[in-house]
Every structure is written in C-alpha cells, then in structure tokens.
Amino acid sequence: MLQKFMDGKKKYSAFIITALAVMIPLFIQDPEAQKTIMDYVPTVAAAIAGIFYIVTQGNVDKEKEKAKAALASNGTAISVQNGMPAQPAQPQVEIQPATSLPSENIAVIPLDLKLFHERVLSDTLARHSEQNAATVFYTAKDKGALTTCFNIKQAQDYWDYLVTLAYDAEKYIREVTDVDKPGPCKVRSPEHVQMQTELSKILRCRDNVYAVAQAGINWRARLGNNDTLWHVGVLAEEMLKGLQR
C-alpha cells in the first residue's frame, strides 16, 4: 500500500513540475526570479501531488468497497450462473398431517388416573363447600361425562376407579349419618340410602363395561357423540341387549 502511494505521488509530482516549468517563463520574465521560483517547484509539486493523490485515492477506495459489497451480495447468483452451487440444499422437514386414529388403535395409551384424580380434586374444591369422599365421588362422575374415551381399556380403568370412590363415599356417609349407631331402632338416612343405590349402579356399570370389552362390541360407533368414559358404562347395558338380539 505504501509503495502504491509513493508511485502515485511521483506520477502527480512529475506532472505538476512539468506544468509549472512551462507556465513560469510565460508569466515571469526575470531569469533570476525564474531560477528562484524553480528551486521551490519540486517541494510545492510534491505537496500538491500528495494532497491530490490522497483525495483521489480516497474516492477510488470508496468505489472499490462498494464494488466488493455488491459482489458479495450477488455472490450466490454469480456462482449459480458459473455452474457452481452457492450452498448445498438443506433437507426440508416433512410435516406430517394430523390424523385421527380409531379408538381401539390407541389401546397402548392408558388412562392417566393420577392426573385424572388430581383434576377431580381441583374441581371438587372449586364446586363444593368442602372436600370429602362423597363430593369427590360426585365430581368424578361429572368429570367422566366430560372426558372422551379413546379405547375400552380407558373405560375399564375409569370404572374401576369410580367403584373405589363409591365405596369410600358410602363409608363416609354411613359414618356421618350414624347409621351404625347402636340402639333398638335404626332410622335409615336418606343420604345413605341414595349412596347405596349409587354404589349398586356403579358396580353394575363396571361389570357391563368389561362385558362389552369381552364381546368386542364397536361401542364408539354405537355411542356417537356420547363417547365419554361415563357414557361407555351407563350405556353398556343397552349395547349388550342389542348383541343378545
């Protein structure tokens, strides 16, 4: 870079010296004055040439930088035109469309009873003034009626779970209503009678769900939009009647 600068400066200095040597005799007639001025011509010419070179070279450098930037931005297109790919094509990730699997093809997905029970407890606290075995049981019934059943194994797990809650609820109501209180005359509690009826119903529905599974009934086709954990059990008896016909 320094050598280029010096070479350029020499070229401009030689040009300026030649120009001054030609112009000085035209304006100054005195030989002594001409000689005196000519002594300073190389120094003045070098200074002027340096300034001129710096300004000119600066503009040239700016143009070079612009050209490099344009070349870099168009490098991909140029490479392709020359038969050379700029970048290897990146593999595209294929997006699989969402599919709706038949219910019995999802048999490998069990019902997450732990998560289901946690949500039942959360709903119980939100809907009832207190949380006890009875309120948990009734909330689990409602939760099952709002939860889609994807395979018969999930329905079996849900109804086994519901039977356990029903037994706990019956025991709780029996205790709080003093059903087992000793005495010559027993007065049955309406709450306890109702819970005993619920327990019998839950046991019957659970047995019907297992019978539907054993018979291989296409329960989803028969239930339509009522394909919930709860409805698989409460409508299982009707599906079994249709099978017997």
Per-residue pLDDT tens digits for 216-245: 999 999 999 999 999 999 999 999 986 655
Instruction: Give the model's pLDDT for residue 241.
Output: 86
What is the token pair recorded at 114? 């732990």
pTM, to two decimals: 0.56
Average pLDDT for the chain: 73
Instruction: Give the model's pLDDT for residue 69.
Output: 53
Lowest mean pLDDT among 29-43, 57-71, 76-90: 76-90
Across 180-194, average pLDDT: 76
Cα gap 232→221, rounded to integer Å:
11
Q: How does pLDDT run across 13-37, given as a tens digit for each residue? A: 544 555 555 555 556 666 665 556 5
Q: Where are the alpha helices (DSSP H) in the chain?
A: 2-27, 31-73, 75-81, 113-127, 133-144, 152-176, 190-215, 219-223, 229-234, 236-244
Instruction: Give the model's pLDDT for residue 226.
Output: 92
Cα gap 220→104, rounded to integer Å:
9
Instruction: Give the model's pLDDT for residue 132.
Output: 96
Q: How does pLDDT run across 152-176, given as a tens digit for each residue? A: 999 999 999 999 999 999 999 999 8
Q: How far is CA 110 from CA 20, 150, 162, in A?
A: 101, 9, 16
Angle at 118 between CA 112 and CA 123, to 5 degrees: 125
- Cβ distance 134 to 195 under 8 Å? yes
